[in-house]
A = this chain, B = another copy of it.
């Protein structure tokens, strides 16, 4: 099946460009990938030919020949969660203008699905991988450890990262929120949390530990649900909290949706915030500071995590081993606003 003559519908190939420019195919290839090592004269001829033919490289052929792609895999547990949409934004800002592109995998808070996605991504020979947790299955973790590409774990700072990591101390962040509540004079704080993925569980544990140490722990005030977080859920959880422990005087919410929902529920019940009830939120998405009263929140560096992660990854791809700071703590910030400022 000799198909020596090209059909007109076929797009031009490297060889076509080479012929047009009067050079060899490899020179065209080099002109595209590292213009620096090609003579000015050749480069100009090639560039001209590319323009004339409207040539675009075929990524599949390139991937096959070079055994690597320009794909960066990004694994997130949720697409609806505001937290990850901010991370996403940071990541996309960072790949803008590079030759890489991001592919998102949503594992819906399931470590098993995450493992499947890791496998799937790896089969595509990605240039790098960003994963949003430390809670892989053992197999998932092994796959990451032996991955033939750099890997960045994001969101948390913890011992035993697979390769690089960018995040902040989530437990210290919760503690800071709880402590702030204490410093404002609240003595009977509750904790509201939805979804209860491993990270949420850890944050709850940190809260309990702090509350216990401060002599403020009361399990009736810990309200959680495995269901997804939402504004409506925040209202429900507060309702439940107040029916179980009516003397509660503050709530630490495990994210902004919940805090906004709790605030609205308080409004509905004519409970004065911050007078009768203090509310501290977690993450601090834009909406939080515009509520009335404005929500005090532990602000987390979501976008920065995304942009930093991609920066590290790209540096490591371009120049393996060049990233010396392989574990980056971006910190968090207490945003003290009206919802906790008693008098």
Q: Is A290 an interface residue (CB 8 A)?
A: yes
- The size class of the interface chain A forms with chain B is 35 or more
Q: Which chain A residues (68-97) contact chain B, with CB distance < 8 Å?
A: 69, 79-80, 85-86, 88-89, 92
A53 within 8 Å of B by Cβ? no
Query: Which residues 262-293 of A have a CB within 8 angstroms of B?
Result: 264, 267-268, 286-287, 289-292
Known: A101-B103, A106-B92, A231-B286. A59 touches B124 (CB 8 A): yes
Chain A residues 319-337 with CB under 8 Å of chain B are none
Q: List chain B residues, Cβ under 8 A from A38.
A: none
Which residues of B sit under 8 angstroms from A60, Cβ to Cβ?
60, 63-64, 69, 124-125
Say yes or no for A299: interface residue by CB 8 A criterion: no
B-chain residues with CB within 8 Å of residue A58 when the two chains form the complex: 64, 123, 125
- Chain B residues in 8 Å Cβ range of A105: 101
User: Are A267 and B287 in touch, CB under 8 angstroms?
Assistant: no
Distance of A201 Cα from B260 Cα, bound (Å): 31
In contact, A286 and B69 (Cβ under 8 angstroms)? no
Out of B86, B125, B232, which one reaches A290, CB within 8 Å? Answer: B232
Which residue of B63, B89, B287 is within 8 Å of A231 (Cβ)?
B287
Residue of B56, B64, B104 touching A104 (CB-CB under 8 A): B104
